[in-house]
Amino acid sequence: MLAHLRRHHPSVTIDGTRKRESGKKLQLLPPQPLNRGEGEKSDRAKAINKAMGVFIAKDMQPYAVVEDAGFQHMIKVLESRYNIPSRHHFSNTIIPELYEGTRQRIVKELSNTAYVALTTDGWTSRATETVTAHYINSEWEMKSSVLQTRPLYESHTSEHLSEALTQAVTEWKLERANSTIPVATNNASRECSQCNSWTGTTDRVLCTYC
C-alpha cells in the first residue's frame, strides 16, 4: 500500500491528507503496461499500433518488418503482453488511417492559406508523377508538403500529365477565387506542355537548373 501511494498518489500522506504544493512541475508517469485480459482493441494496444505505423511510414520500412524475429523480440521486451498485428493489418488499416488523418490536416492547413505554389515532376522509369505544394501557413512558417506520388498507367503525354495535375488541385482543394497557381517544372517538353494545356493555371516557372 505504501509503495502504491508513493508511486500513484505522491501528493497524499499516510494519514490521508495532501502534501503542500512544492511548486515543482507535475511529473507524468510512464504509460501503464497492458493488463492481463486486455485485448487488441484497448487504448494501449491502439497507441502501440499507431506508433509502429508511424515508424513504418516515417522510416520507409517494409510492412514485413513486423515479422522480423529481431523486431518481434524487441517489442516483446518492451511490452510482453502486446500481440503484434500482421503486416496486412498495417497495410490495410493502420497506414491508411494515418494517411487519411494527415491528409485532412494538410487540407485544413491549405484551406487557411491564401496562396499556394506547386512543383511537379515525373519519372518515366517508374511511371509516376509527384505534386508538391509550397505555402506559408497561419504562423508565417514556410511549408512544403508532398501531396501525392501517383502511378501513370497511360502514356506520358501532356494531356495525361495535365489530368493528373488537375486531379491533385481538385482533391486537395487548391482552387482560389481570382487567383492563379504558379507551377514550377523542369524544362522537359512534356512538362512544359503539361502546364500550358492545364486550364487551372496561367503562371509557370521553369526550373533553370534542371
CATH architecture of the domain with range 113-206? 2-Layer Sandwich (3.30)
What was the pLDDT predicted at 138? Answer: 86
**Percent of the chain clearing pLDDT 90 (strictly above):** 38
When pLDDT is cut at 50, 70 and 90, the band that residue 106 belongs to is very high
Q: Pinpoint the residues of the chain covered by CATH 3.30.420.
A: 113-206
Dihedral angle sign, alpha carbons of residues 208, 176, 164, 55? positive
Q: Give the C-alpha separation, 173 to 163, whole Å.
A: 15
Paired sense of beta strands 117-123 and 142-151, if any: unpaired
What's the chain's average pLDDT?
A: 77
Which is more confident, 107 or 6? 107
pLDDT at residue 206 greater than cutoff 50: no
DSSP, residue by residue, 107-127: HHHHHT-S--EEEEEEETTTT
Q: Give the C-alpha separation, 172 to 107, whole Å.
A: 6
Of 5-9, 134-138, 160-164, 167-171, the range with the lowest mean pLDDT is 5-9
pTM: 0.68
Contact indicator for 53, 91 with CB cutoff of 8 Å: no
Q: What is the mean pLDDT of residues 59-87?
A: 95
